Structure 1
Amino acid sequence: MSTKKKRSPHVDNSSWVVIAADDATKTTTGDPTFVKLKNPATGVSSLYLFSSGDSAVFEVKAFTEDYRSWFIGQTVQRDGRLLYITPMEPLYLLLPYLQKAGAEGKFQPVDQVVMDEEFPACTRLLSCTRSLASLRHVADEKEVGSLKFHRYSQEKTLDWLKKKVERTVAALRKSSVCVGGGVKSSTFIRVKQEEQASDEDYLRYAHGLVSEYVSEDLSKDLLKHLQLPELSSPKQEPPAKKRKLSDNPVDAKDDYTKFNSSDFTRKPPKKLTAAQKSLAKVDKTGMKSMASFFSPKVKQEKN
């Protein structure tokens, strides 16, 4: 008697599920490539994507939950993360190199400034369409013949970042995002709907978002430039500075599988099924709980 063997799905560890804009995956003068670059906020290795021809750079972040996989056709993708790729301002990635060279106080060719043995792909940032044109926002420029030389300017950088914050505030107001003190940090849902966010609330929130792309020292300098007092109590920390589930950059290991989930202590609520929703509407007045039938009976004392 022959028995029919069940087909078990093939486990695939060499692919990922990615959401990306069309301009990130479009091929013209070459394929898009994942590279390791220095994270401008933390200084550690993170994963980024260069579009075809290095015309633009994108940051790679991940939405992840414990014990999750993807079933794709007849394969099982063990890495259950959902990677999503969004446009990145290349100037943020260039800032650490410009700041380091700026300590010397002299004008230098940018191709001699943006060099890194640990992250050799950083030179590809200079091919991005917006990179060289944007240098004037954060550096003084001197032109000698056909050559251009640059020197980092803290004043220009803070003015540029301030404009970034102001544009972010405008976008937050337009989208009616809740940013006040009554916002829960993990979900950004307002506790008291009648409480109106102040201008300072919006500035702090936007400052927190921009600070995700700059060093801690530069973030503090920007806070002063915005004329906002530094918060001394951790409880007063603005919501934008508290990590959300999908805000961690992807750790750039060769297999892209290592992911620090230590920040994810709060689990999202599970969706109710149709049956559970119907049961929730039932009037339970006078009903006993299931546990009451299995709990020991309390003996009544005799008078």
Structure 2
Amino acid sequence: MTTKKKRSSNTQNDRWVAIAADSAVEASKVGDSGPVFVRLRNPATDAASLYLFGSGDSQLYEVKAFNEDCHSWFVGQTVQRDGRLLYFTPMDPLFLLLPYLMKAGKEGKFQPVQQVVMDEDYPACTRLLSCSQTQASLHHVAEEKEVGSQKFHRYSQEKTMEWLKKKVDKTVRALKTSNISVGGGVKSMTYIRAKQESDAREEDYLRYAHGLISDYISDDLSRELLKALGLPEISSPKELEPPSKKRKMSDRPVEAGEDYTKFNSADFARKPPKKMTAAQKSLAKVDKSGMKTMSAFFSPKVKTEKN
């Protein structure tokens, strides 16, 4: 009796394909810890998300994954079964610190930030304080007091709104500079420009930028930011938001979505009829009356009931 050989597990398949800047994966100084993946509390969903700390915890990177069904990678002579594409982008650590500052701010007193940023479920959150821009940026979202050589902070809603509004303004400028279409002149599935970019109003840019920033803050803070921007709430966001924003809300990378939309269109399934060959034309003229089809020879015979 023969037995099937079990396929040995290939550890080379347990790898990821990722896109990252050199600064995210290289050690900057001798003795610095290398890049580290950590689980932190997502500021928008309050659930666990994956982040990357660069060398020496100097920079925080957001980890995003683009995933498709039935997708794998050919790397050298091996096949990587995990077909996801990971990419790391720099992220402002203040977004992750905000929930801790807001929670401590309810006490209404100044506290050392080391005492505020503590989480039993996500102990790695203290590493956020090691990022180079954290200490220099806390004044954007909190009031500061210095006693001796120690600083104390208290969350400020007013400062936070001003900081978020500046984030929105910078995002709007980046959208315009990059010529990203955000208005109604974009067809929802194909991103084909139907009208001139002048059709996009300033409100379209603000709403789009607000949506992008809202991916990193709580729903309550997002609504407060909407009011601070002077934008009224819309009754049906999915109907009125720009088409490109709808794709962002689905958490699908825009670049890959543009490449694969042709496979989702109805026109792609419509193929022109093939031309018949001379032999097929001759066969079509033959009288087929009384002939059985090929499938009839393979069909089961119908049993007749006996009286």
Alignment of 1:88 with 2:91, yes or no, is: yes
Deviations 1:241-277, CA, capped at 9 Å, x for gaps: 6224138xxxxxxxxxxxxxxxx9x96335xxxxx9x
Cα gap change, 1:38 to 1:13, in 2 (>3 Å): farther
Superposed displacement of residue 9, structure 1: 10
Q: Which residue of 2 aligns with 1:68?
A: 71
Cα gap change, 1:55 to 1:11, in 2 (>3 Å): closer
Alignment of 1:40 with 2:67, yes or no, is: no
1:40·1:92 contact (CA, 8 Å) conserved in 2?
A: yes
Q: Which residue of 1 aligns with 2:252?
A: 245
Q: Aligned match of 2:54 in 26, 33, 51?
A: 51
2:184·2:199 contact (CA, 8 Å) conserved in 1?
A: no
Residue aligned with 2:215, SS:
helix
1:41·1:214 contact (CA, 8 Å) conserved in 2?
A: yes
Q: Which residue of 2 aligns with 1:153?
A: 156
How many aligned positions are there?
256
Residue aligned with 1:83, SS:
strand
Cα gap change, 1:174 to 1:194, in 2 (>3 Å): closer
1:17·1:82 contact (CA, 8 Å) conserved in 2?
A: yes
Cα gap change, 1:118 to 1:9, in 2 (>3 Å): closer
For residues 90 and 147 of structure 1, the distance between their equivalents in structure 2, rounded to whole angstroms, comes to 21
Deviations 1:208-257, CA, capped at 9 Å, x for gaps: 1111111111011000000000111131134436224138xxxxxxxxxx
Q: Which has the higher helix share?
A: 2
Stretches of structure 1 lacking an aligned partner (at least 5 in a row): 1-7, 248-263, 271-275, 294-303
Q: Which residue of 1 aligns with 2:20?
A: 20
2:186·2:192 contact (CA, 8 Å) conserved in 1?
A: yes
2:13·2:78 contact (CA, 8 Å) conserved in 1?
A: no
For residues 107 and 50 of structure 2, the distance between their equivalents in structure 1, rounded to whole angstroms, comes to 30
Q: Aligned match of 2:219 in 178, 197, 216?
A: 216
2:101·2:154 contact (CA, 8 Å) conserved in 1?
A: yes
Q: Aligned match of 2:205 in 202, 206, 210?
A: 202
Higher relative contact order, structure no. (Cα contacts within 8 Å, ≥ 6 residues apart): 1
Cα gap change, 1:55 to 1:288, in 2 (>3 Å): closer
Stretches of structure 2 lacking an aligned partner (at least 5 in a row): 1-7, 282-307
In our comparison, the structure showing a higher alpha carbon Rg is 2
Most deviating of 80-89 and 183-192: 183-192
Alignment of 1:1-303 (within 5 A): 10=10, 12-27=12-27, 28=29, 29-185=32-188, 188-193=191-196, 196-234=199-237, 235-238=239-242, 239-240=244-245, 242-246=249-253, 268-270=261-263
Residue aligned with 1:213, SS:
coil
Superposed displacement of residue 84, structure 1: 0.4
Question: TM-score scaled by structure 2?
Answer: 0.76
Q: Percent of aligned positions with the same letter in both sequences? A: 64
